[in-house]
Chains A and B, each alone.
Chain A
Amino acid sequence: MSLENNSGKNFMEVAKGLKSWLVTLDHKRIGIMYLLFVISAFFLGGVFALLLRFELLSPNQIAFTAKQYNQLFTLHGAIMVFLFIVPSIPASLGNFLLPLQIGAVDVAFPRLNLASLYIYMVGAVFCFLSLYLGAVDTGWTFYTPYSSTTDTSVISITLGAFILGFSSILTGVNFIATIHKMRAPGMTWFKMPLFVWSLYATAIIQVLATPVLAITLLLLIFERLLGIGIFDPALGGDPVLFQHFFWFYSHPAVYIMILPAMGVMSELVTTFCKRNIFGYKLIAFSSIAIAIISFLVWGHHLFVSGQSQFAAMLFSLLTFLVAIPSAIKVFNWLSTMYKGSITFYTPFLYFLSFMFLFCIGGFTGVFLGALSIDVHLHDTYFVVAHFHYVMMGGTVMAFLGGLHYWWPKMFGKMYNEGLAKTSCLLVFLGFNITFFSQFIMGSKGMPRRYYSYLEQYQPYHIASTIGSWVLAVGFFLMAGYLIHSLLRGKKAPSNPWGGLTLEWHTTSPPPLENFDVKPRITHDPYDYENMDIPNEKGMLK
């Protein structure tokens, strides 16, 4: 880092130009670049989703052939999972905020941080290469032996996912080291903000689970390239083995997606209720509990694949156990509102949306965890609706909540509160219209990944597609006012919401080395009782 005197300049002003971004080691710039990429990925995945919902307006062909439809849902899934949701909160918001929240100058390994960004970009290039080489049509799960035999470019996209995995592992390693070693004086483990705890739990899963995915995808590539029989029965392999390997990663990965979101929730609820969190330790430990148990539930994706009844029983039991820590968190957030002083700014509306949608996602998970019912619901739209309620209703809502919460900190600009609330409402409504109809048609038997369907399901599909348009309007509005905020937005004060965690004790945007005065921690992170509540002048018009 340069030795010249940067006083008074924020991290964006200290250097200008594209090159200053491409070679930066500043965690804040890396976080913002990640943000740009994950939002682009979300946009692209969203466009694919709109296209495929459009095709589903009618059981007959409207715009795409069966093959194109299959490619669309595969790309939608693969992009949303590997390029958007896995890196979304940790790599973008996490990168920006982790050092700030623990009062550090940067992450432990800034170069590694930049490397993981570049690895992400290379992985993304391989994924997009697959678009040119004949977009894959296997579904994002790449089940064998279909994926060993299809003529689309499986190798390119699995190689992409393989590389993206490394990016994820390196970010995880970096975060673990940072949390262990870089905390400011006085910040004990139990004085860390809960977002940091959730990033810690996430990093553990990233480091331990992702290699299994990497190996699995590599085996798949070997099988296709060299004809070694591993999964393809025609070569003497076992196709179900792939499913075990795949879900051994991908189920914990579900928690890679949701844990950081839960961390964001703890930040939002305390700041907007101006209250100390209820059950700090229980929330922190439940993140760790989730991280551990999440490794032992993968078999619940295989209840109808012919695994033994005994295995199915164990996986069902463990699946119910992993639900408990999530439930505890929800109860704790709810209790944190008790006797608070609640303000309804946009981030808090996203908090409320998360609570509503994530609960529905959780309750429908109970249906799926029950063995006998899962037999009926497996691979129907019920499952599709369930994981969208958890992933989009959960993670994406928290991501948007976090984005609106930290936006003033990251860019030093405010956005239009009225438009932001309207957009939040549209997203919430559109989401429910799109996916609630899918619960009903799913339990009525509608299988997923269907290009065409029985005419009797059409009303539900039409409702779902209309919902997707409402969602799209909400997101375009959001893009509009956020871009406006960047260009013309009102200058943001350093603490617009009256937050207590350390990132609010520095300027917006922060200086290059985060704090002008090295912070020293004496209170719990959300101790609104004993700390002066920062004034909120900047936000109250």
Chain B
Amino acid sequence: MKTIAENLIQKGSFWLPRPATQIAHDVDTLFYTILWFSVAIFLAMFIIGLVFVVKYKRTSTNTKAEKHVTHNNVAEILWTVIPLILLMIVFWWGYQDYLKLSVAPPNTMDIKVTGKKWFWSFNYPKEGINTLNEFVVPVNTPVRLIMASEDVIHSMFIPNFRVKKDVIPNRYTTVWFEASDIGIYQVFCTEYCGDGHSSMSAILKVMSQADYDRWLQSNGEDTDTPLPELGKKLYTAKACNTCHSIDGSVKVGPSWKAIYNSDRQMADGSSVKADDNYIRESVVNPQAKVVKGFAPVMPAYAGLLSDREIDAIIEYIKSLK
């Protein structure tokens, strides 16, 4: 997969992606606190072990254990109680931040999210905008995602925000965040959901309020990019690439290479010419005509792609000779 959001590995600290919310900074503080305490204790134990191993190794003068200390109440109580206290601090600290992570403030901006094998769709209920594998939020605004799955369990993970929540069929779960930095962020599915699990990712764009308003006005649509180029973008952005190749190789679905205007064999024995209307129907209502040799598993994109986007995809498929 191509890297779109650059800020996971390249930006950020050695261990963690660049934090992009206030809470993410808090989570990181605890992370590094535990890390440095662990390193210190581990090193101390390592050095003690090393000293013992060197000092008490069998030699001609040390043929027998010098002394058999079998218990020492003070030491044993200390190394029970001190770790206990440290762990209780970690516990309470982690719990407090967890509450901040999981309890959304009132007056959030709500987006409905649907997870489905293998893409994410986003619905802005007030504006009536639908997007696929990409969503946009304004910076410094608390946003809540109200999520449900249409099939198996998925999980919404935004590494830069340190948030994650399972997306479950028949139940709503929520995640909230308030992005503090404008930028492009990676969204993963982290609950194993089948063949396309690893390509079930989305992009989150955090924009200034003005840019966000402009985006809303254009109804979330990209009106600038020329059609074939837009189609190429949609091929990955709308997850068609999970199932369709463009180089002739067969994945879950048939390759798009040189299908335009060719005769397609259907499962029911008929044959259809792959013209604009056929492609449009294949996208909006894929089960209407099922290509021979494939399972009817393609999700229907009705309502998820605008007319311009469908045109763009048709133009793109045309260009694949």
Binding site for B on A (CB under 8 A): 59, 65-67, 70, 137-139, 143, 145-146, 149-150, 233-234, 239-240, 273-282, 303-306, 309, 312-313, 316-317, 320-321, 323-324, 327-328, 330-331, 334-335, 337-344, 352, 355-356, 359-360, 363-364, 366-367, 369-376, 378-380, 440, 443-445, 447-457, 528-529, 533
Nearest CB of chain A from residue B216's CB, rounded to whole Å: 29
The answer to whether B164 has its CB under 8 Å from any CB of chain A is yes
Q: In the complex, which residue of chain B has the Cβ closest to the Cβ of A147? A: B152
Please name the residue on chain A nearest to B189 by beta carbon: A447
Q: How far is the CB of B179 from chain A (nearest CB, A)?
A: 16
By a CB distance below 8 angstroms, the chain A residues around B66 are 339-341
> A304 with B10: in contact, given A233-B170, A279-B76, A342-B57 (CB under 8 Å)?
no
Q: Least Cβ distance of B195 to chain A in Å?
A: 4
* Contact across chains for A309 and B98 when beta carbons are under 8 A apart: yes
- Whether B210 is near chain A, meaning CB under 8 Å from some CB there, is no
The residue on B at minimum CB distance from A450 is: B198
**Contact of A278 with B71 in the complex, beta carbons under 8 Å:** yes
B67 touches A456 (CB 8 A): no
CB pair A316–B94 under 8 Å, yes or no, is yes
Cross-interface CB contact of B198 among A143, A317, A451, cutoff 8 Å = A451
9 inter-chain pairs at a CB distance below 8 angstroms, sorted by A residue, are A239-B153, A279-B70, A334-B48, A355-B49, A373-B34, A378-B190, A444-B17, A456-B10, A528-B65
**A369 close to B196 (CB less than 8 A):** no
B155 near A304 with CB under 8 A, answer yes
Chain B residues contacting A443 (CB-CB under 8 Å) are: 15-16, 31
B102 on the interface (CB 8 Å rule)?
A: yes
Contacts of A273 in B (CB 8 A): 56, 65
Taking a contact as CB atoms under 8 Å apart, the answer to whether B101 and A372 are in contact is yes
Q: Which of B93, B169, B186, B191 has a CB less than 8 Å from the CB of A445?
A: B186
Stretch with Cβ within 8 A of A (4 or more), from B78-86, B121-129, B263-271: B78-86
How many B residues touch A, CB cutoff 8 Å? Answer: 91
Interface of B, helix, strand, loop or mixed by DSSP: mixed
Q: B321 within 8 Å of A by Cβ? A: no
Q: Are B163 and A279 interface neighbours, CB within 8 A? A: no
CB-defined interface of B145-188 with A at 8 Å, one 1/0 digit per residue?
A: 00000011101010100111110111101000000000000101
Chain A residue numbers with a CB within 8 Å of B170 are 233, 239
Complex: how many Å from CA A276 to CA B67?
9
Whether the pair A376, B159 counts as a contact (CB closer than 8 A) is: yes
Interface centre among A138, A338, A356, A448 (most CB of B within 10 A): A338
Does A320 lie within 8 Å of B192, measured CB to CB?
no
| Contacts known (A323-B87, A452-B199); A282 close to B76, Cβ less than 8 A | yes
Verify A334–B49 contact, CB threshold 8 A.
yes
A456 touching B9 by the CB < 8 A rule? yes
Are A341's CB and B198's CB within 8 A?
no
Within 8 A of A (CB), among B1-20: 1-3, 6, 8-10, 12, 14-17
> Which of chain B's residues has its CB closest to A456's CB?
B9
**Contact A327 B199, beta carbon cutoff 8 Å:** no
Complex: A360 Cα to B69 Cα, angstroms: 27
B300 at the interface (CB under 8 A from A): no
Q: Nearest chain B CB to A55's CB is how many angstroms away?
A: 11
B282: min CB distance to chain A, Å? 22
B53-77 to A contact mask, C-beta < 8 Å, 1/0:
1001110001111111111100110
Q: Which residues of A contact B155 (CB under 8 A)?
A: 304, 379
Instruction: Verify A341–B64 contact, CB threshold 8 A.
Output: yes
Give Cα A145–Cα B35 distance, bound, in whole angstroms.
37
